[in-house]
Amino acid sequence: MAPVTSLSDAVNQQLTSAISASLPETSADPLLRRSDRADFQANGILALAKKAKANPRDLATQVVSRITTGDVIKDVEVSGPGFLNITLTDKAITENLAARYEDGDRLGVPLKDEPGTTVIDYAQPNVAKEMHVGHLRSAVIGDALRGMLDFTGEKTIGRHHIGDWGTQFGMLIQYLIENPGELAPPDEVDGEQAMSNLNRVYKASRVVFDSDEEFKERARKRVVALQSGDKETLELWQQFVDESKVYFYSVFEKLDMEIRDDEIVGESAYNEGMPETARLLEEMGVAVRSEGALVVFFDEIRGKDDQPVPLIVQKADGGFGYAASDLTAIRNRVTDLHATTLLYVVDVRQSLHFKMVFEAARRAGWLSDGVTAHNMGYGTVLGADGKPFKTREGETVKLEDLLDEAVQRAAEVVREKAQDLTEDEIQERAAQVGIGAVKYADLSTSPNRDYKFDLDQMVSLNGDTSVYLQYAYARIQSILRKAGEVRPAARPELELADAERALGLHLDAFGSTVFEAAAEYAPHKLAAYLYQLASLYTSFYDKCPVLKADTPAQVENRLFLCDLTARTLHQGMALLGIRTPERL
Ligand SMILES: NC(=[NH2+])NCCC[C@H](N)C(=O)O
């Protein structure tokens, strides 16, 4: 099936050529917007007339005279000081939607002309540590961005830069050597057991480490053994990684998110390349020795208190850290993965780190003009009280507990709505509703803002929630079931009611919305679009009887509008990583 030219693009093209015919040598943006007065309004002529020192109403009249009305544009008129009001033919609207309807999951949306490769760094928890709400945001936002980018035709490669290296492993491994059997083999535990074992080992080893000087010394030596690649040490390190992965996977599964094993490429994966990174930076003079350490200085980048902060590539003791691993990862992602965009979905508190890493990489020539690097720093998750999300005891909230609670709340909503479901069905739907609610609450706020984790609000049926969207979808499915033998079919010969036009024109804007949201890394724009779609559907449904419409043709056409709305909701939600159950 062929991609569909959107109605707004078609109108835009006509206007643009009419404007350049009237005002040669101007490149014109007609500034086309949806409007309540007509289908579209073009506001661009005022500014153009001003530039050309022409009378805006005269110019507008000239432009209008050059527009062919008929198939697509029914009517165009000058209004106010020089605006254009444009009305489309009913036929053009319905035919456009029919073509989308024919195009399956793509809904007529074209692919990018020149797709690039985006390496997206997201969902990066740390080994032997509990995941927290910050990791939730990275996973949810990253997954949604990836869904949207893929849909535009961009090639995406995921990188889960998990924290799997550092001096704390000396302590952990040494403890395990002295207390063998404390960690069960990874293939014998589920996610919950894995994390509780890891927690226990972490706490116990910390206690010994803090109280026993000799153990501390043995742990320090163990770090050296790990760094020099000692076989036994590495095997135990691997056990910590594998045990943690069992836990990560269980959380990602709960989150209804697919994470590929070959895309879990943690900090340690770059160990081998780090000495080379340091050598190159020093050779090029990008990094210099300072008190034994290898550092990059920046005049233009300032930290807190406006003090310049250096980026430490190699510590004085020879050790490499977080920055060296990220710099080496950039080389890998650009050279080996051929990335044209490096996208990092990481807490805004690390934005200074990335600023410095990107600038150092630019100076080294690893980030050339053809490659963009961007940290989509997201804000903090707050509790209902507006303070950073903590338990009443002041501890970080366990991600799993939070997800479980969301699903439990969702079960209450589902149970209340549909009395005829079995307990299994309730649980299945509750998972889709509860997890969807958590994701949607996150995605519907602009990512750089903090947001409140408020379960009551998240699972509410009223307002801008995923449940509201899922409910709209399920209601449409129920109408389609009730229609029985009568199939949805586009009827371009029919006149459209206002609510039908409004819904239709919004459906036409799905593709441009996804492209914009993907290009701006703004999943909330897609969420807002979907919310508006559900609202427009609701007013259509209130005003236009579907199964009881006047004529059989109208019933078919309205069923068709219902079905296209459902498919668009389904696809849009899927891009955000949210399910749309057939019944609620
Ligand atoms: N390439 C990166 N540095 N990615 C972000 C890693 C996030 C880190 N593991 C954390 O939990 O804070």
- The ipTM (two decimal places) reads 0.98
Structure tokens at 297: 């200085």
The pLDDT of 392-406, averaged and rounded, is: 85
Q: Does 158 sit in the ligand 1 pocket, CB within 6 Å?
A: no
Q: Does 346 sit in the ligand 1 pocket, CB within 6 Å?
A: yes
Q: Does 326 sit in the ligand 1 pocket, CB within 6 Å?
A: yes
Please tell me which residue, 112 or 304, carries the higher pLDDT value.
112
Tens digits of residue pLDDT in 212-254: 999 999 999 999 999 999 999 999 999 999 999 999 999 999 9
Q: Compute the distance from residue 347 Cα to the ligand 1 centre, in Å.
A: 8
**pLDDT-wise least confident of 52-61, 95-104, 355-364:** 52-61
Q: Does 161 sit in the ligand 1 pocket, CB within 6 Å?
A: yes
Number of the ligand 1 atom closest to the C-alpha atom of 134? 11
Q: Compute the distance from residue 132 Cα to the ligand 1 centre, in Å.
A: 13
Give the closest residue to 129 by CA, choosing from 203, 74, 75, 183. 203
Residue burial 64-86, b: 16+ Cβ < 10 Å; e: rest: beebeeeebbbebebeeebbbbb
Tell me the CA distances in angstroms from 197 to 178, 179, 224, one per residue in order: 16, 13, 25
Give the closest residue to 169 by CA, choosing from 236, 248, 245, 124. 236
Beta bridge partners of 294: 289, 314
Residue 1 has pLDDT above 90, yes or no: no
Strand order in the sheet with 293-296: 288-290, 293-296, 311-314
Q: Does 130 sit in the ligand 1 pocket, CB within 6 Å?
A: no
Give the closest residue to 567 by CA, choosing from 482, 473, 469. 473
Beta bridge partners of 163: 126
Number of the ligand 1 atom closest to the C-alpha atom of 346? 5
The pLDDT of 21-40, averaged and rounded, is: 88
Number of the ligand 1 atom closest to the C-alpha atom of 162? 9
Best probe residue, ligand 1, of 124, 248, 251, 345 (max atoms within 8 Å of C-beta): 124
The pLDDT of 115-143, averaged and rounded, is: 96
Q: Does 268 sit in the ligand 1 pocket, CB within 6 Å?
A: no
Q: Compute the distance from residue 182 Cα to the ligand 1 centre, in Å.
A: 28
Residue burial 112-127, b: 16+ Cβ < 10 Å; e: rest: eeeebbbbbbbbbbbb
User: Residues 181, 235: contact at Cβ < 8 Å?
Assistant: no
Q: Does 121 sit in the ligand 1 pocket, CB within 6 Å?
A: yes
Number of the ligand 1 atom closest to the C-alpha atom of 126? 9
The pLDDT of 365-388, averaged and rounded, is: 91
User: Residues 327, 321: contact at Cβ < 8 Å?
Assistant: no
Q: Is the dihedral of CA 246, 248, 249, 253 positive or negative?
A: positive
Tell me the CA distances in angstroms from 242 to 13, 185, 534, one per residue in order: 56, 9, 43
Best probe residue, ligand 1, of 122, 130, 131, 161 (max atoms within 8 Å of C-beta): 161
89's CB contacts (< 8 A; 6+ apart) are: 70, 71, 72, 73, 74
Residue burial 221-232, b: 16+ Cβ < 10 Å; e: rest: ebbebbbeeeee
Q: Compute the distance from residue 308 Cα to the ligand 1 centre, in Å.
A: 23
Global pTM reads 0.96
User: Residues 141, 447: contact at Cβ < 8 Å?
Assistant: yes
Q: Compute the distance from residue 344 Cα to the ligand 1 centre, in Å.
A: 9
Q: Does 501 sit in the ligand 1 pocket, CB within 6 Å?
A: no
